[in-house]
Amino acid sequence: MSESHEGAPAVSVVQKSASPGVPKWEQNAKSRVSAGLKKLIKPTLMLKEKDAAEADTRHLVTDLLVDVLGYDKYENLTAEFAVKGDFADYGVRIEKQLEAFIEVKRISQKLSPTHLRQVESYALKEGVQWAILTNAQVWQVYHVTPVKGQQSEVTLIFEVDILDETLKPSAKSDLLFLISKEGLSKGRLAEYLSAQNAVSPKTLKPILLSDDVLAAVRKEIKKKTKHNIDMKDLKVALKKILAFE
């Protein structure tokens, strides 16, 4: 598994408030997520305080998936989804199409790379690109891309702790909206990932080290310092500054 955190949680990418250009369905979904999330803060705290078992954690996760994220318990969610000799906690279907897998751990358990490998393997086996790992309090959303054989590239799209008091409620609900039924089916999660990829090191490196950009930087250096820098030296200097090598 090759795990990338280049796209880790850039909350600023998410639209923070409704505007005239936001579709009505999106405004409604975000309002539902925001209101539902407020109601689940207290139950989440209670489960955490009593160190609830994984089965009880799953009940809370189901409530969040249905009441907050808008999934139909019977139409969209399949518990104990059979995956070639194993079972994922939840398979998520939208219009009968399998879209994501969700792996749930008990609320007191810290999410780990081992847990990620579980849900990643489900996604790989079924050709699903979205994998969600949660203990009801913390939600991690990953994009899984097959590379070759059983290998894959796994990118953390975002992580949100619904009990994190340093994060604004609107930021939490905006992020969770991305994995709502509407956010997933209307492509909002894919758009968010695309926006992250656009400013990732993988995208920026070839652009910043391209001949056109180097020439522009070289010209600016000459204007500021009167020195005519060799292009090769400039490229080496930029690589060091940008920590590419």
> Between the CA of residue 143 and those of 60, 91, 169, 220, what are the distances in Å?
24, 15, 24, 39
207: pLDDT strictly greater than 90:
no
Query: What are the tens digits of pLDDT across the range 80-114?
Result: 999 988 899 999 999 999 999 999 999 999 999 99
Domains and CATH numbers, the chain: 2-196 (3.90.1570), 201-241 (no CATH)
16: pLDDT strictly greater than 80:
no
Residue 18 has a pLDDT of 45
Q: How confident is the model at residue 241 (pLDDT cuts 50, 70, 90)?
A: confident
Give me the mean pLDDT over the 21-31 stretch: 93
Residue 209 has a pLDDT of 83
Residue 5 has a pLDDT of 46
Q: In whole numbers, what is the pLDDT of the chain averaged over residues?
A: 87
pTM summary value: 0.80
Helices (H) and strands (E) in the chain, counts: 9, 7
User: Long-range contacts of range 158-164, CB-CB < 8 Å, 24 or more positions apart?
Assistant: 158/7, 158/8, 158/9, 158/10, 158/11, 158/192, 159/8, 159/9, 160/9, 161/137, 162/37, 162/40, 162/41, 162/44, 162/137, 162/138, 163/41, 163/44, 163/45, 163/48, 163/137
Residue 243 has a pLDDT of 74
Query: What are the tens digits of pLDDT across the range 192-205?
Result: 998 887 877 777 78
Q: Where are the beta strands (DSSP E) in the chain?
A: 2-4, 77-83, 86-94, 97-104, 130-134, 138-146, 152-161
Least confident of 47-61, 97-111, 145-159: 145-159
Residue 106 has a pLDDT of 94
Give me the mean pLDDT over the 130-152 stretch: 89
